[in-house]
Amino acid sequence: MHPKNAFYAQSGGVTAVINASAAGVIETARAHPEAIGTVYAGANGILGALHEDLIDTAAESAETIRALRHTPAGAFGSARYKLKGLEENRAEYERLIEVFRAHDIGYFFYNGGGDSQDTAHKVSQLGEAMGYPVTCIGIPKTVDNDLPVTDTCPGFGSVAKYIAVATREAGLDVASMAQTSTRVFILETMGRHAGWIAAASALAREAQGDPPHVILLPEVPLDEQRFLERVKASVEGFGYCVVVVSEGVKNADGTFLSDQGTRDAFGHVQLGGVAPAIAALIKNTLGYKYHYAIADYLQRAARHIASATDVEQAYAVGQAAVEQALAGRNAIMPTIVRESDAPYRWHVGEVALAEVANVEARMPAEFIDASGFFVTDACLRYLRPLIAGEDYPPYRDGLPDYARLRGERVTPRLPDFRA
C-alpha cells in the first residue's frame, strides 16, 4: 500500500501551544514514511483546503518544525470559519473531499475546539459516503478548556499560568501602592461561557488576604450588592482589592455585562470591555481609585511563560493523533486522561468525535465556592498541575526566537472554488 498524504489544519482562536501540536503531528508523520507521505497544512486553516491553498511542510527543515514547539499562535494560519451543516452546504464538504482526492490525502488532522471536532466528524462520514474514506482525527485545542471528556484542553494550561502569574505580579504592585494610590485593580480575562481562565487566577493566592480577592465567573450571575460588599471588605481588611473578571460575566437577567453587540463567524456574541464596566460600578458606589488591565490576546499568545505541562500535552495529542490514525482508528480525538492530582499523572486516551462535537463543557458546580466569588479546593487541586513547569523559548537579542516558516505552496490541481 503506498503511503497516503496527510492534511493538517488549525482552527479557531490560536493558543501559545497549538504549534506544539503541529510539531507533534509533523514529526510523528515524518517518523513513519512507510505510512504517511507528505503532511500538507491548510493555509489559514480549513480555508486552505476549500481554496486548495496547501502549505508543503516537507519544505520546512527539521529545525523549523522542532521550533514550532516553542512558537505561539498559528504558524500556518488559523480561521474562524465554521462549515455549515451537511444538508445546508454539502458543496463545501464535497470540495474538501475533492481536494483530498486530488492530493492523495488519506488523513485529516483537525486541530481545534468543539466546532472543529464536529467538522472532522462530518468529513469522516461524507468521505465514507463518497467512496473516498479519510481517516479523520480531531486534535483538542481551546484556551477556554471547554471540550468535554478530555481532562483538559491543550492551550488552557498556558493561559491559566499567564493569568495566575499576572495576578500575583499585579497584586504585589497594587499592594505596595494602595496606601496613597490605586485601591482596586481589575484584570479582565478571556472566557466566554466558562470561567476556567478567570478561575486560574486563584492559584496566585498563597495565604489568606492574598490576591485575587474576588473572581467573577460567567457561571455566577453578578449580584452587584454582594460584590460591592466584598470589594469594600477587601479594601478595609487588606488595604486593596484585586478583582479578576471573566469577559463572559452576566447580569442577573442573563445578559452579558458588556455586550458590544457584534458577533463572530461562529455566531458567538463578541465581548470586551467588562473591566471598565466593573471599574465604573466600583468608582461610582464606593469611590475607590481603580486601574484595570485587559490582557486580551496577550494571554493566549504568551508562549514566553507557557506551562511546561501544557506544552508537553499539546505535543502529545499531536503525536497521538498520528499514532492513532496509523493504528487504524478513525473519527476520534485524543484526550488527556488524569490518573492522579498529586503527584500529577496522566496519559493520552481517546474519545469518539460524535461525543465531543459541539458539546461545551462548563466548570462543575463543586468547583465554585458558596460565595460565588472564589473557587473551591477541589478546583485548585484540578488546576494546579496544569500550570506546572516552565518551558522557556530560546532568546535572541532579548526577544523570544520564534519559528518562521518558508510556507511553500503546493501547486493547485483543481479549478477555483467559491463557497
Site for its own copies in 299-338 (CB under 8 A): 300-305, 307
Identified binder of its own copies from the candidate list 7, 17, 57, 74, rule CB under 8 A = 74
Cβ neighbours of 206 (radius 10 Å): 8
6 within 8 A of 39, measured Cβ to Cβ: yes
User: Is residue 378 involved in binding its own copies (CB under 8 A)?
Assistant: no
Strands 395-396 and 399-400: antiparallel
The least CB distance from residue 23 to its own copies, in Å, is: 15
Judge whether 183 and 229 are in contact, CB under 8 Å. no
Q: Please, where are the H alpha helices in 337-404?
A: 353-356, 377-383
Mention every residue, 6+ apart, whose C-beta is less than 8 A from residue 113.
11, 12, 13, 140, 141, 142, 144, 146, 147, 153
**Residue number, 50 or 320, with CB nearest to its own copies:** 50
**Per-residue contact string for residues 88-127; x = within reach of its own copies by CB under 8 A:** ----------------------------------------
Per rule CB under 8 A, is residue 388 in the interface with its own copies? yes
| Cell numbers representing residue 374 in the block | 472564589
CA distances (Å), 366 to each of 243, 252, 363, in order? Answer: 21, 21, 8
Complex with its own copies: residue 4 or 183, whichever CB lies closer = 183
Q: Is 231 annotated as a binding residue?
A: no
Query: What is the dihedral angle through the alpha carbons of 75, 79, 85, 88, rounded to the nearest 10 degrees?
Result: -130
Instruction: Give 301 or 378: the residue with its C-beta nearer to its own copies.
Output: 301
Instruction: Report the residue from 7, 8, 64, 72 that binds its own copies according to the rule CB under 8 A.
Output: 72
Site for its own copies in 5-44 (CB under 8 A): 10, 13-14, 44
Beta carbon nearer to its own copies, 3 or 400? 400
Q: Considering beta carbons, is residue 313 or 330 the nearer one to its own copies?
A: 313
Interaction between residue 340 and its own copies (CB under 8 A): no
For its own copies, the binding residue among 166, 243, 333, 379 (CB under 8 A) is 166
The answer to the question of residue 298 lying near its own copies (CB under 8 A) is: yes
The reply on whether position 265 binds its own copies by CB under 8 A is yes
CB of 391 to its own copies, least distance (A): 11
* Residue 85 labeled ligand binder: no
The dihedral of CA 299, 300, 302, 305: what is its sign?
A: positive
| Catalytic option among 144, 146, 310, 391 | 144
Footprint (CB under 8 A) of its own copies, residues 43-62: 44-45, 47
Minimum Å gap between C-beta 184 and its own copies is 12
Q: Residues with Cβ < 8 Å from 256, sequence gap 6 or more? A: 248, 249, 250, 269, 271
Helices (H) and strands (E) in the chain, counts: 13, 15
Does residue 179 touch its own copies according to CB under 8 A?
Answer: yes
| 311 touches 158 (CB < 8 A) | yes
Instruction: State which of residues 204, 222, 249, 274 lies at the interface with its own copies (CB under 8 A).
Output: 204
Q: Is 248 in the site for its own copies (CB under 8 A)?
A: no
Choose which of 172, 228, 277, 286 interacts with its own copies (CB under 8 A): 172
Which residues 183-202 are close enough to bind its own copies by CB under 8 A? 185, 187
63 vs 56: CA distance, rounded Å: 15
The minimum distance between CB 237 and its own copies, in angstroms, equals 17
Q: Of 103, 13, 37, 88, whose CA–CA distance to 413 is shortest?
A: 103
144 given a catalytic annotation: yes
Interface with its own copies (CB under 8 A), residue total 72
Give, to the nearest 10 degrees, the angle between helix 274-285 and helix 224-238.
70
Determine the 3-state secondary structure of 365 from DSSP: helix
What phi-psi label fits residue 149: left (phi over 0), alpha (psi between -120 and 50 degrees) or beta?
Answer: left
Evaluate whether 391 touches 307 at the Cβ level (below 8 Å): yes
Of residues 272-291, those binding its own copies (CB under 8 A): 272-273, 275-276, 289, 291
Per rule CB under 8 A, is residue 134 in the interface with its own copies? no
* Residue 397 binds its own copies, judged by CB under 8 A: yes
Q: What is the largest CA-CA distance in the chain?
A: 75
Whether 74 has a binding-site annotation, put simply, is: no
Shortest Å distance, C-beta 275 to its own copies:
8
75 binds its own copies (CB under 8 A): yes
What cell does 268 get?
458567538
Question: Binding site for substrate: what residues are annotated?
Answer: 142-144, 190-192, 247, 297-300
Question: Binding site: what residues are annotated?
Answer: 13, 142-144, 190-192, 247, 297-300
Question: What is the set of active-site residues?
Answer: 144
